Amino acid sequence: MQFPTTPSRDNYDVVIIGGATSGSSIAWHLVNDKSFSGSVLVIERDPSLQFSATQASNNCMRQQFATKINVEIAQYAAEFVKNFGLEFGDDPCVPTPPIRDFGYLYLSDSKNFTEVLREDQKLQSSLGAGTQILSADEVKKDLDSASLNTKDEGCFNAMGMVNWMRMSAVKAGVDYINNEVIEIMTNGDKTEDIKLLSGDRISVKNVVNAAGTRAAQVAKMAGIKNLPIEARRRYTYIFSVDETIPQDLPLTIDPTGVHIRSYGPKDYLVGCPPIGPDIAVDVDDFSFAENAWEEKILPIITRRIPQFNTARITNAWMGHYEFNTFDHNAVIGPHSVMKNFYFCVGFSGHGSQQAPACGRAVAELIVHGAFKSLDLSTLSYSRIPEGRPLVERAVI
């Protein structure tokens, strides 16, 4: 989409910094709340989203999390995508129905991790997820067990969802601009004005930080120095083989962190964290710093699935997670002091599927002053300065 570079007015009720998945979800939910009649501006430095976490997304959805709130967030995502997915636009790799339910398959190679999977399965089952534990005999090879759920787990058209929310929000009166925030002016416990790269100055009633990997930089402009979010490198490859397996391959997570799934009708997607330490990278560094395919991925996928020994790369990219180093969970809601400065950041690789529920939650806080649909208070910013982590261990 093409956006103007300057805003249509010099004051807004809500300014959202970041116009990818999270920012667009907030804007969409705001204008679809019948109690809201205010003005909304979304500021996006790259409307093409070429280097965003959204563009690099593996388009996946799951309920196999270790914390109750993340399972509930994922369940709303499934509901949202199924209700509106047919309007997101065509994607040959994510055909209708809106969720390709091949599932997630977590592999365990130890008794200890099997116990973790069993504990998580009990939580997921209590919330209505269809996760099952598979025995060593069922998964074979050098494994101890696995967990599998094919109910509302698989892949969906994440970019189609974002584009649909953006177009719908614009039609409903939201202003999107191609610009960048360079200064945030505060007064005591309030954010009052922002300055854009173009020189425009805008008065604000509420500001939302939905800036993804740049969230900590945006927070610092408002005097908030302890937002523990950084960019982390993740590799993705698409490959084809001479002999495909006869059914969809679930998103299969090897204990090494290599994860693989069906992509199109006859090819596959595989990804992994870095070979060495998983450390912060510059938000503008999208280089392939190592040969992850040869050194990490290929040995794993050929050991798990022998047919993949003919794998040929057809596409590859390196994208970033907006990684929350504090507890791997999203930060949702207002700052503990500056109450009109909101967060919707820190998804640690889960942003595409968590944005619908989290965007709705932030919109409810702005309009109603409280969560109306799903209480996300456990993900509030206040847990960070108070040292109360809510650790999500099911992070790939």
Tell whether the model's pLDDT for residue 12 goes beyond 90.
Answer: yes
CA angle 60, 64, 69 (to 5 degrees): 100
Q: In the predicted model, what is the mean pLDDT of the chain? A: 94
Q: Which of 252, 248, 241 is nearest to 139 (CA)?
A: 252
Overall average pLDDT of the 24-42 stretch = 98
Overall average pLDDT of the 220-232 stretch = 96
The residue with greater pLDDT, 351 or 56, is: 351
Tell whether the model's pLDDT for residue 226 goes beyond 70.
Answer: yes
Q: Are 83 and 152 in contact (CB under 8 A)?
A: no
pLDDT value of residue 54: 81
Span of 135-139, 189-193, 302-306 with lowest mean pLDDT: 135-139
84 and 2 both lie in a single domain: yes
- 88-125: string of b/e by CB count within 10 Å (b at 16+)? beebeebeeebbbbbbbbbbbbeeebbebbeebbebbe
Whichever domain contains 276, its CATH number is 3.30.9.10
3 and 81 both lie in a single domain: yes
2 and 128 both lie in a single domain: no
373 and 241 both lie in a single domain: no
Whichever domain contains 196, its CATH number is 3.50.50.60
Of the residues 324, 350, 370, the one at which a domain ends: 324
- Calpha distance 210→200 (Å, rounded): 20
pLDDT digits (tens, 9 = 90+) for 241-277: 999 999 999 999 999 999 999 998 899 999 999 998 9
How many CB atoms neighbour CB 396 within 10 A?
20
pLDDT value of residue 222: 96
Backbone angles phi, psi at 176, to 5 degrees: -110, 135
70 and 160 both lie in a single domain: yes
139 pLDDT tier (thresholds 50, 70, 90): confident
pLDDT value of residue 208: 98
Q: Which distant-in-sequence residues (6+ apart) come within 8 Å of 262 by Cβ? A: 100, 102, 248, 249, 268, 269
Of the residues 324, 343, 375, the one at which a domain ends: 324
Overall average pLDDT of the 198-214 stretch = 97
Of the residues 304, 324, 344, the one at which a domain ends: 324
Overall average pLDDT of the 151-174 stretch = 94
Domain span at 93? 1-99+153-228+326-396
Q: Are 104 and 250 in contact (CB under 8 A)?
A: yes
87 and 169 both lie in a single domain: yes
292 and 352 both lie in a single domain: no
Overall average pLDDT of the 87-104 stretch = 82
89 and 109 both lie in a single domain: no
pLDDT value of residue 57: 85
Token digits of residue 270 = 């595989």
Overall average pLDDT of the 189-201 stretch = 97
91 and 213 both lie in a single domain: yes
Overall average pLDDT of the 70-92 stretch = 90
309 pLDDT tier (thresholds 50, 70, 90): very high
- Calpha distance 263→248 (Å, rounded): 9
pLDDT value of residue 33: 97
- Calpha distance 183→222 (Å, rounded): 8
Q: Give the total number of structural domains in the chain.
A: 2
The residue with greater pLDDT, 90 or 355, is: 355
Based on its alpha-carbon atoms, the radius of gyration of the chain, rounded to whole angstroms, reads 21
pLDDT digits (tens, 9 = 90+) for 370-389: 999 999 999 999 999 999 99
347 and 378 both lie in a single domain: yes
CA distances from 233 to 159, 178, 212, 259, 328 (A): 20, 26, 14, 15, 15
131 and 8 both lie in a single domain: no
pLDDT value of residue 95: 66
129 and 194 both lie in a single domain: no
